[in-house]
Amino acid sequence: MTAYDDLMEFTRDTQALGQVAGRLGWDQETMMPRGAAPQRAEEMAAMESVLHARRIDSRVGDWLAAIDDKTLDAVGQANMRHIRRSYERTSKVPAALATRIAKLTSAAQGIWAEARAADDFKAFAPTLAEVIMLKREEGQALAAGGDVYDAMLADYEPGTTGADLEAMFGAMRPVLSELRATVRAAEGPAKLSGSFDEGAQMKLTRQLAKAFGYDMARGRVDKAVHPFSSGSGLDVRITTRTNESDPFNCFYSTIHEVGHAAYEQNIDSAYLLTPLGSGVSMGVHESQSRIYENQIGRSRAFTGWLFGQMKDAFGDFGIKDEDAFYGTVNRVGDGYIRTEADELQYNLHVLLRFDLERALMTGDLQVSDLEAAWNDRFEADFGYAVDKPSNGVLQDVHWSVGLFGYFPTYSLGNVYAGCLNEAMRKALPDLDANLAQGDTSAATAWLGENVQTHGGLYEPREVIERAAGQAPSEAPLLAYLKEKFRGIYGL
């Protein structure tokens, strides 16, 4: 065997162990008894210790030094790029620090959940301050004198900097704010009302998952407080949530997570348990979930079909026809929760978090001032005050588990989705006719072929540029949003 063969065999075992650790996280959110949290924190810390040791194993360094990348094909070179990047980054973080972070963030997740339920930010603040202290220490180790937040971003979107995002988001925010104000001043579509059986919601949501190509033989749908997708390859699981008065929350959370899961399920099987066998970045990942959820799932054509499915499931629910239903699905309304936000206002939620977490990492914002800073920014952007912490600073799980640098990838994914949608519509002129029948196969096949199958073969922005035929830009997304919402609101 060659040094490359030895390295890949070792890497496959590391990847497999990483999948096991991910399954522990899935279980913690779905099935784990509440009282098991302290033990699970120990288990997660132990797994992270093992994984960290494997990622910085001296043999990996020896193999990397022994391999001439130029002798490898494109797949081999891409594997080397990922392994080398991981090895160099992980080697900068002391093992003891990585273990402390894993243990703390596992425990912090439960503390956050209890504080959220009690609407008590002060109960979570000391733990969050400790998480931030450790993550800042990790970021300083990774940055090696450079920008700490940029070092954190590299875990989720390699090749992107805080300055890049600041420029992109700075161009988006005034356009979104102006469009939001114009739309909110106009008469809006009818709001959905009534009671929708949660069992019937779950039945229809599984139908929707299959309609978007989710392979239930390699996945499952469960319920969680915060919907997510977990796993890759042959075991990719999703979660959703139900609300008796808001079935759209269930349906579109499911479609969103199916976008993530389909990406993982559709990666070339030859890449299984290799660095190429999962999504290349969170921004590209989010482009799939958002284009499934919005440009496809909230399109006039698809909502026309969904209207019929909802009538079959729930009977007459007060919306007169398909056109009215399309407006109701896309209605722009007041709300506090990012995951429940309409397509127009969603990015304003993300931009708020990006600015706050960047300030937390630089030390310009202290945890003691975070709730007030959140509330002030929210009122400035949305025009009304946050009523309670669970609708504000405590609504998201991300900071409790140390995911600093993750939030901006949501809006970056929307930007990518805008580029992809423009290209997909040009390639598939009959797409709406298919969607009107509930047939998403042309769209999902196009995305599978142009984005998903590649896994980690290319760098993130290269994936989008190859598929869309242009460098990523916020322009297609903003044009799409203007056209859509001006049409719905008759502007």
Tens of pLDDT, residue by residue over 405-458, are 999 999 999 999 999 999 999 999 999 999 999 999 999 999 999 999 999 999
pTM for this model (two decimals):
0.93
Structure-block tokens of residue 482: 């203007």
> How far, in Å, CA of 386 to CA of 392, rounded?
6
Type of residue numbered 158: P
Nearest residue to 259 via CA among 277, 240, 241, 273: 240
Rounded to an integer, the average pLDDT of 353-358 is: 97
pLDDT given for residue 41 in this prediction: 87
Where in the chain are the domains?
A: 1-92, 158-491
pLDDT at 224: 86
pLDDT, tens digit, for every residue of 287-327?
999 999 999 999 999 999 999 999 999 999 999 999 999 99
pLDDT above 90 (res 45) = no
pLDDT given at position 173: 95
Q: What is the model's pLDDT at position 198?
A: 96
Q: What is the pLDDT of residue 463?
A: 98
186 Cβ neighbours under 8 A, 6+ residues apart: 489, 490, 491
Average pLDDT over residues 166-194: 94
Average pLDDT over residues 74-80: 98
Q: What per-residue confidence (pLDDT) applies to 34?
A: 87
Structural class in CATH, domain 158-491: mainly alpha
Task: Give the residue-averaged pLDDT of 110-118.
Answer: 95
Q: Using 50, 70 and 90 to split pLDDT, how confident is the model at 340?
A: confident
pLDDT at site 238? 96
Give pLDDT, residue 104.
Answer: 95
Q: Residue 238's beta-bridge partner residues?
A: 221, 229
Give the model's confidence band at 335: pLDDT under 50 very low, under 70 low, under 90 confident, else very high. Answer: very high
**Mean per-residue pLDDT of the chain:** 95
Q: Is there a contact between 303 and 489 (Cβ–Cβ < 8 Å)?
A: no
For the residues 271-286, what does the mean pLDDT come to? 97
Looking at residues 149-169, what average pLDDT do you find? 95
Work out the pLDDT band at 226, boundaries 50, 70, 90: confident
Active site residues: 257
Whether residue 1 is predicted with pLDDT greater than 90 in this model: the reply is no
For the residues 331-342, what does the mean pLDDT come to? 92
